[in-house]
Amino acid sequence: MTKRRTKGEGTIYQRKDKRWVGQYTVDTLDGAKRRSVYGKNKKDVRARLTEAIANRDKGLVFDAEGLTVSEYLNRWLVNIEDTIGERTWKRHELVVRLHVKPSMGKTKLASLAPLQV
């Protein structure tokens, strides 16, 4: 008997071509989208899926379509608020509001270049 995965843990299955697939969902501006990780065996996919879901929960995975730097930073500030000290959060918010948003806030995240940062 196999153990069922609970909601939010993703899905693992084997395709007809014998490749293993792990799928999970990512919230986007347009709703939820499904993302996949691949591997040669189930153990490898399970590890990759666990890492992908952890990154998603930390706010590191997102759908950049139409997302601006300003919108991303707003989400980031909300996600880190409970994980750092109040003074640190206020400092991050200040830097984002006064320096980053005015200079590159309207730039699409997908087209952001390293030299702009």
For 19-47, the pLDDT digits (tens) are 999 998 887 666 778 888 999 999 999 99
Look at residue 30 and give its three-state secondary structure. coil
Alpha carbon separation from 19 to 1, 4, 15, 28, 51 (Å, rounded): 22, 20, 5, 27, 19
> What angle separates helix 86-95 from helix 69-80, to the nearest 10 degrees?
180
Query: Binning pLDDT at 50, 70 and 90, where does residue 53 land?
Result: confident
* pLDDT (tens digit per residue) in 76-92: 898 888 889 999 999 99
What was the pLDDT predicted at 43? 93
* pLDDT (tens digit per residue) in 3-19: 666 666 788 999 999 89
Look at residue 21 and give its three-state secondary structure. strand
